[in-house]
Amino acid sequence: MKNPVQQYLENIVEACAGTDGEVAAYIPELAAADPDRFALCLATVDGRVYEVGDAELSYSIQSISKPFTYALALQDSGIEAVTAKVGVEPSGDAFNEISLAPDSGRPFNAMINAGAITTSSLVDGEDGDARFDRVLRGFGRFAGRDLSVDESIYSSELGTAHRNRAIAHMLREFSILEGDPEDVLAQYVRQCSIAVDTRDLALMAATLANGGVHPRSGDEVLEAPLVEHVLSVMTTCGMYDAAGDWVTAVGMPAKSGVSGGIIGVLPGQVGVAVFSPRLDAHGNSARGVTLFERMSHDMELHIMHVSRGSRNAVRSSYSLAEARSRRRRTPAEQEALDAVSDRCHVYELHGDLLFSGAERVVRSIVDDDPELVIIDFTHVNDIAEVSRQTLISLRDRLREAGSEAVVVDPENVIPDPAAGTEDATRRFDDIPRALAWAEDELIARHCGSLDTSDPVSEHPLLSRLSDRAREAVRAAMTEQTHAEGDVVLAAGGSFAGIHLIVTGQAVARDHGPDGSAITLVTMEPGTSFGELALGTDDVQETEIVAASDLELLVLEADDLEQMTLDDPAIGVEVWRAIARDGYRVAERALRRSATRTS
């Protein structure tokens, strides 16, 4: 089955076919290009590349080199030093205009030729050859492979670079360039002659879209703050005197080249590259501009497109009344929790948490006004620093009000500056553990210390029996002990009686499709296990394991049967108590499930 994205790209290429525009004629080698060659590539930030047309056709990078050389100059010389030589304002002029600030001689931006020649001089290197080697290696890291120069393009372009030569000498006159302007000019023309294909350009654009990290190699080519700087200038200046039309109609940081290429960057999503040599009046690929306009409209790629991210930050929210931990509680604890469980709320978040999303989370918590808050970051991919600070501040405000917030954060996506101190936020690896903590905390805060001196007598199996029946059951029970890790009841075994926990913990486990153990429920003193086998044809379906050293009182199956035979009246009482407790557990589970899904 053909991928729908691939099919869409093929469809719009056909729909946007056209023969408008002319190839660049001022460079002899470019004038000889086949005007009807075409390629479109879209690269995602996780490294998938979709291709249409001549994706492997090689051509010179030309002015698409400018944002990448600018990036290297920022990396090598720093923003302040580069900005002292090259501005960031749109010029409103054509790409080859002799456009310098009248007071300082500083080029308006790095996307026009004057600015690009200047940034070439700001890359590390003792001379033009050394700086070019740095550029060639840097471009290779952006593309994810070694690149080379098209020497025929270089010779042809250098021999006709009269206007750029004039710009270079004027820059030297204003001391924007230092040293020999011919040396810098040769370096600049050579970098414009680097041979690429459309797949290379798409991956170079995707590296910028991915915050400076190459989508396939994982190589951090450029630091994220510098990526923001480069993309900002590309947005306002990358399409020269057509920049305003481009931002309005397409809305992506972009850069074009006179060989017929255009790249577009949608931060966090994709890099796009188009190659079609016929140029419009602004020196941009005519068919390329049409394709970008179509894709931006169809795929909602405009950076100003209003998303619903702030509304979607909260994946789900619910109170403890709707979802409990996997810990089986005693009837007294259940009754206590039923009274106060709405005081704890859980907020499951997802996606990239930017400021608007964090604001939505904070507003939800403040409006709900819970006493205990569990924030689940399991499905959050990344979190902006402003969002982290906002949520840390919320935690502090909750504590001041006598409340508390904890996080479920197995991947540590929200680092805590107070980690390792008593002020640190309590962290859990999964929701069930966080819910168990919240249950314990609510019981401690609102119910005091429940009487656990004789947890067994409070179990429904015994608490509702007559004195005579209770004495008979206690007399029939035998004591068992198990060490941590022991299998108390194996899955598949027959009904072995009712096991009441006196001290310690036990867990009921099942196994997933891959054979890994899954904990279904944790049981503590005053709770029981084994009786559910009575409802499954007397077969124990789950494995019961001692989670700690365990003391049990066991009413074994044979003893239960004998008690019923010896005194049918007591037997009826006991079986009624067993059935009543089973219905209680099932009804509670069904009620919580219905509440959660309503």
Mark whether 188 is an active-site residue: yes
CA 424/CA 298 separation, integer angstroms:
47
Q: Identify whether 307 is a catalytic site residue.
A: no
Half-sphere exposure of 160 (CA within 13 A, CB side): 13
| Closest C-alpha among 12, 31, 13 to residue 22 | 31
Determine the Cα–Cα distance for residues 16 and 30; give it in Å rounded to an integer. 23
Buried b (16+ CB within 10 A) or exposed e, 19-55: eebebbeebebbeebeeeebbbbbbbbeeebbbbbbb
Separation in Å, CA 497 to CA 404, 468, 533: 42, 20, 9
CA torsion through residues 310, 315, 321, 326, sign: negative
User: Catalytic residue at 66?
Assistant: yes
Buried-exposed string 468-506: b where 16+ CB fall within 10 A, e elsewhere: ebbebbeebbeeeebeeeeebbeeebebbbbbbbbebbb
Q: Which of 60, 63, 259, 296 is catalytic?
A: 63
Is 382 in a helix, a strand, or coil?
Answer: strand
- For 248, other C-beta atoms within 10 Å of its C-beta total 10
Tokens encoding 246: 């481009």
Closest-CA residue to 37 (of 341, 297, 313, 275): 275
13, 123, 213, 258: the active-site residue: 258
Residue from 289, 283, 278 nearest 21 by CA:
278
Considering the candidates 188, 285, 407, 456, report the single residue annotated as catalytic: 188
Rounded Cα distance, 572 and 326, in Å: 31
Amino acid at 103: D
Strands in 506-511's sheet, in edge-to-edge order, are 327-328, 517-523, 506-511, 543-546, 487-489
Q: How far apart are the first and last CA of the chain?
A: 38
Q: What are the strands of the beta sheet with 39-44, ordered from one edge? A: 49-53, 39-44, 270-275, 261-266, 254-256
Cα separation, 497 vs 564, whole angstroms: 14
The answer to whether the beta carbons of residues 255 and 263 sit under 8 Å apart is yes
**How far apart, in whole angstroms, are the C-alpha atoms of residue 339 and residue 175?**
78
Residue whose token pair is 């005519």: 286
Q: CA-CA distance, 191 to 320, in Å (whole number)?
A: 62
> Which residue's entry shows tokens 């279904």?
520
| 318 classed as catalytic | no
Catalytic residue, from 240, 274, 276, 456: name it. Answer: 240
Candidate list 13, 23, 65, 66, residue with the active-site label = 66
Residue 46 carries which side chain, given as an amino acid letter? D
Catalytic site residue 255? Answer: no
Catalytic positions are 63, 66, 188, 240, 258
